[in-house]
A = this chain, B = another copy of it.
Amino acid sequence: MTGPRGYHHGDLRRALLAAAVDAITDAGPAALSLRDLARRAGVSHAAPAHHFGDKAGLLTALAVEGFDLLAGALCEAGDLLDAGVAYVRFAVDHRAHFEVMFRPELYRRDDPEVTAARDRAGAALRAGVAALPRRETDPDQEADALAAWSIVHGFVTLWLAGALPPGTGPDPEAAARTVIRRLFD
C-alpha cells in the first residue's frame, strides 16, 4: 500500500510521515504545517497533497500507523501488567502517533484503514484482560478491560501533558507499574 519503490523522491510518503512525527513531537499536532513538511522533505509545497489529499489525510495515515504499532506492542506483552506498561511505553516513545490517535477531530476516524487498525489494537487490549486470572468476586470482563484501559490511558495522558506532580518520579513505566498494581491487587 505504501509503495516503497521510489519515483522522483525515493519514498516521499514515508519521508513526509517521518517529518510529521518530528514536527508533532516538537510542537503538537495543532502546529503541524503541510508546507513545513514539504520543506523538510525538500519538495514543493503541494507535494504532500498528492499523497494524502489534505492535512486530515496525512493525520489519518499517522493514526493507522499508530494503532498498528500499538497493537504490535500489546501483543508482545505477557500478562496484563506488562500490557499496561507497554501501553505507557508506546505513548511515550511514539508520542506523536499517540496524540493524533485519540484526537479524532484531526483525522477521518471512519476511514476503513483506521477502523481496521483500531480494531486490531482493541483486540490486543482485550486479549490481555482475558488472560487475567478470574476473580470470583466479579466476573465482569468488560468492566475490567475498561478500568485497565482507563487507568493506563489516563496516567500516560497526564504524564505527557506534564500535569503530574514532580513527586511522581522520572520514569513513567515504573510509576505506571505502581498505579496499575493498585487496580488489580
Which A residues have a C-beta under 8 Å from some C-beta of B? Answer: 27-31, 102-106, 109, 122, 137-138, 142-144, 146-147, 149-155, 157-158, 161-165, 167-168, 175, 178-179, 182-183, 185
What is the oligomeric copy number?
2
A165 to B165, CA, bound (A): 31
A104-B162, A150-B179, A154-B155 known; 15 other A-B pairs, CB under 8 Å?
Answer: A28-B103, A28-B105, A30-B105, A102-B157, A109-B162, A143-B182, A144-B182, A146-B178, A146-B179, A150-B151, A150-B155, A152-B154, A153-B154, A154-B154, A182-B183
A30 to B105, CA, bound (A): 9
CB A150 to nearest CB in B, in angstroms, measures: 4
Do most interface residues of chain A lie in helix, strand or loop, or is the interface mixed? helix
Chain B residues lying within 8 Å of A138, measured Cβ to Cβ, are 182, 185
Q: Are B143 and A102 in contact (CB under 8 A)?
A: no
In this complex, what residue of B is CB-closest to A31? B105
Q: Are B168 and A146 in contact (CB under 8 A)?
A: yes
Q: Which of B106, B142, B153, B168 contacts A28 (CB 8 A)?
A: B106
Chain B residues lying within 8 Å of A122, measured Cβ to Cβ, are 165
A64 to B153, CA, bound (A): 24
A122 to B163, CA, bound (A): 10
Chain B residues lying within 8 Å of A28, measured Cβ to Cβ, are 103, 105-106
Known: A109-B162, A155-B154. A183 touches B102 (CB 8 A): no
A-B contact pairs, 23 of them (CB 8 A): A27-B105, A28-B106, A31-B105, A102-B157, A102-B158, A102-B163, A103-B161, A104-B162, A104-B163, A122-B165, A143-B182, A146-B164, A146-B178, A146-B179, A147-B182, A147-B183, A150-B179, A151-B151, A151-B154, A153-B157, A154-B154, A154-B155, A154-B157
